[in-house]
């Protein structure tokens, strides 16, 4: 899967997350990257709505990781934030691999830290165009890694 999407508003970002949720199943890892304020947590809010998990979805920056159980018998959502982590050893301490197979795991700021958890993942990179009078437009790049994502429709 290789795709570029545009989200003009926060609602568009949530809608994209809900759309992506339809592709997800237990065992999937999403690695989100982008600058502060890019919309990573907003995307996760849409994922959570689409997966029908218990909320609210807020940035896990200070608690590092939250588990949101399913409300409909689907996989739980593990939402982690690696922003404050010092490296791979601290990521290992989170034991994300312990729940990876039965959960949908999303790691904000995980680039360069969590790729070793699985050979298959969806990398989501969010760009904020140059500041333009409060424009909310974001460019979202989706890049699937591994066989699981090579068969996903573009």
**Whether residue 30 has pLDDT greater than 90:** yes
Residue 132 pLDDT > 70: no
Contact 67, 51 (CB under 8 A): no
Please state the domain extents for the chain. Answer: 2-149
Tell me which residue of 107, 39, 121 sits closest to 78, measured CA to CA.
Answer: 107
Q: Looking at the predicted structure, is the pLDDT value of residue 15 above 70?
A: yes
Torsional class of 87: left (φ above 0), alpha (ψ -120 to 50), beta (otherwise): left
In tens, the pLDDT along 80-121 reads 998 887 777 777 777 888 889 999 999 999 999 999 999 999
DSSP strand pairing (104-108 vs 121-127): unpaired
Which residue reads 């809900």 in tokens? Answer: 18
Cβ partners under 8 Å of residue 105, min gap 6: 28, 29, 30, 77, 78, 80, 96, 99, 117
Mean pLDDT of the chain: 91
Selected from 3.30.930.10, 3.40.50.300, 3.90.870.30, 3.30.365.10, the CATH number assigned to the domain covering 2-149 reads 3.40.50.300
pTM over 0.85: yes
d(CA 116, CA 107): 13
105, 99 Cβ separation under 8 angstroms:
yes
């Amino acid at each position: 899967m290789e795709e570029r999407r545009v989200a003009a508003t926060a609602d568009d970002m949530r809608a994209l997350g809900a759309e992506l949720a339809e592709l997800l199943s237990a065992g999937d890892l999403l690695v989100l990257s982008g600058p502060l304020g890019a919309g990573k947590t907003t995307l996760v809010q849409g994922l959570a709505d689409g997966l029908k998990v218990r909320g609210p979805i807020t940035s896990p920056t200070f608690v590092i990781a939250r588990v949101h159980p399913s409300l409909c018998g689907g996989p739980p959502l593990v939402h982690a934030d690696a922003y404050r982590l010092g490296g791979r050893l601290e990521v290992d301490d989170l034991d994300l691999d312990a729940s990876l197979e039965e959960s949908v795991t999303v790691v904000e700021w995980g680039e360069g830290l969590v790729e070793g958890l699985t050979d298959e993942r969806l990398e989501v990179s969010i760009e904020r165009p140059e500041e333009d009078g409060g424009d909310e437009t974001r460019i979202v790049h989706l890049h699937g890694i591994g066989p699981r994502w090579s068969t996903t429709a573009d």
